[in-house]
Amino acid sequence: MYETYYRLQAKPFTLLPDPGFLFLGSRHKMALSLLEYGLVNGSAFTVMTGEPGTGKTTLLNRVLDQSKRQWTIGMLENTHGGLGGLMPWIMASFGLETKGKSEVELFHEFARFLESEQTAGRRVLLVLDEAQNVGLAMLEELRLLSNLNDGRRRSLQILLSGQPALRNLLKGPGMEQFAQRIAVEYALEPLDEEEAIAYIGHRVRVAGGRKLLFSTLACRKIFALTGGTPRLMNQLCDHALVYGYASQADVITARLVLNAARARDRNGVLPFRTDTSSIEPTQMECDEEQAEVSSGPPIGSGQDAPPAKKVSERVAVDSALSYREALAFKQAGEFSRALALLDRLVADEEWSVKALAQKGICLNAIGRYEEALTAYRTAIDRPSGVAKDMVSLRYLFARTLESMGRPKEAVEYYRTISREGRTYRDAAVRLDQLQLSTTVDAEASAGSQTWLQSFVRNCSQLLRGTS
């Protein structure tokens, strides 16, 4: 529907768990690494949990795609206590015959299957998706099944993926023996705000988009509404693209996102995490968004952005287009390529402040906090900076200080924003939280010092009394 208008080769926000669209934020990268580690090192049980829609099945599909040649894989989905014994379903998942065989016969048949796979140099992987629905009896059956490993090398590995209820089940009474066999486990969390922005850009680029399709403010509103849950983000982004197409918009703005969210809230079953009326964009945010959107050619103008590999050669020709390309790279999580473009734009007086701000965001995203502070500080000191840019920079500076564990310094920057009488994003909320935290810490410290001083006095008195 909207793919042709936005020149996309596929729908970027499909709800199918397509591993080709997998975005590896810090949490998903860690989860993928641990899953791969568990497989390579022969873990008897590997467990991954996460709230619905966080991307567990997509990660599983990526692992399974990479493992097809090395493992014989059986997949069980939507298991539940009403299935009866688990053994017939396990056999069927590997394409083994089950008809007319008892549970004992199936068990011995499966043992022979494992032995034959081991002789052939193949390991066997059993995957249970949505495993929070299995009961204690099924888990005990899996534990006993893992005893088929001969102790020298594992021919059977079991991977459990499910919602947080699975973790609660495994922590329950009588599960100690099972829990002791879990070598690798990871709880997958939603994306944070910067990862959510990169996620949206990544999926657009995988779908063939070559330009900044969602404004940064639109991405931030999507994060606020969905809490960074990928499935909810996909739903909202898809609706926003439909609204954008209907209104012939070149870029999906925050206003389009909020309109799409309101329509879904009216007609949908599951409400968003945040009420749309509470995140209306401020005038300053709208001005910043307009500047970002107008910095490049519209989608239908025929002036498509050049291929990414040629952008760096044409920076001097079109700084505005280069800036948009840098933002697209940042949103896609390709921070090194974004930094290369932004470093060139720093020398351009018209773009230097914006380029330094974006450079700081990229450096912050990859954990180079001191360099990010330097970039923000340099931008703040530039005479070409305008008031609204300075507010954004002070806010970014404070957020970076928080990431570095320096809340007292962050408070001063939030106070500066407040003293200027400006309302910017959640600066006021963060200031209140940090001030409260600092007060509590100070009181706790004072309390501990008072207790220590009293303890020393009592000890001294006791010693004097015994001398």
For the whole model, what pTM was predicted?
Answer: 0.64
Asked whether residue 210 carries a pLDDT value surpassing 90, the answer given is no
Comparing CA positions, the residue from 358, 427, 441, 359 lying closest to residue 399 is 427
Q: Is the separation of the CB atoms in 360 and 400 below 8 Å? A: yes
Stretch 4-23: mean pLDDT: 88
Residue ranges in 332-406 assigned as alpha helix (H): 335-345, 352-365, 369-381, 387-403
Lowest mean pLDDT among 40-54, 288-302, 441-455: 441-455
Stretch 119-142: mean pLDDT: 86
Tell me if 195 is assigned to some domain: no
Cα-based distances in Å from 268 to 51, 193, 239, 255? 20, 24, 12, 19
Report pLDDT for 447.
Answer: 53
Tell me if 154 is assigned to some domain: yes
What digits encode the pLDDT tens for the residues 226-261? 999 999 999 999 999 999 999 999 999 999 999 999
Beta strand 182-188 pairing with 156-162: unpaired
Tell me if 101 is assigned to some domain: yes
Query: Could you tell me the CATH number of the domain that includes residue 436?
Result: 1.25.40
Structural domains counted in the chain: 2
Secondary structure of 41-109 in the HEC alphabet?
CCCCEEEEEECCCCCHHHHHHHHHHHHCCCEEEEEEECCCHHHCCCHHHHHHHCCCCCCCCCHHHHHHH
Tell me if 224 is assigned to some domain: no
Show the tokens assigned to 449. 């010092």
Tell me if 67 is assigned to some domain: yes
End position of a domain, from candidates 163, 188, 213:
188
Comparing CA positions, the residue from 181, 180, 168, 173 lying closest to residue 42 is 181
Report pLDDT for 299.
Answer: 41
Report pLDDT for 254.
Answer: 93
Distance CA 298, CA 300 (A): 6
Report pLDDT for 305.
Answer: 44
Distance CA 132, CA 169 (A): 8
Model confidence at 152, in pLDDT bands (50, 70, 90)? low
Stretch 119-146: mean pLDDT: 86
Report pLDDT for 310.
Answer: 40
Distance CA 301, CA 6 (A): 12
Tell me if 280 is assigned to some domain: no
Report pLDDT for 437.
Answer: 67
Q: Where are the beta strands (DSSP E) in 153-221?
A: 156-162, 182-188
Query: Could you tell me the CATH number of the domain that includes residue 151?
Result: 3.40.50.300
Report pLDDT for 298.
Answer: 40
Assign 126 to helix, strand or coil: strand
Going by the DSSP 8-state scheme, the letter that residue 129 receives in this structure is E
Q: At what angle do helices 352-365 and 369-381 cross, to 10 degrees?
A: 170
What digits encode the pLDDT tens for the residues 277-307? 788 888 888 888 888 887 654 443 334 444 4
Asked whether residue 120 carries a pLDDT value surpassing 60, the answer given is yes
End position of a domain, from candidates 165, 188, 211:
188
End position of a domain, from candidates 188, 223, 253:
188
Tell me if 272 is assigned to some domain: no
**Is the dihedral angle over the CA atoms 380, 381, 383, 387 positive or is it negative?**
positive
What range defines the domain where residue 360 resides? Answer: 356-467
Sheet holding 71-77, edge to edge: 71-77, 123-129, 156-162, 45-50, 182-188
Burial of 365 (0-12, 13-18, 19+ CB in 10 A): buried
More confident of the two residues 110 and 418: 110
Q: Is the separation of the CB atoms in 284 and 427 below 8 Å? A: no
Asked whether residue 347 carries a pLDDT value surpassing 60, the answer given is yes
Show the tokens assigned to 54. 């966080």
Tell me if 113 is assigned to some domain: yes
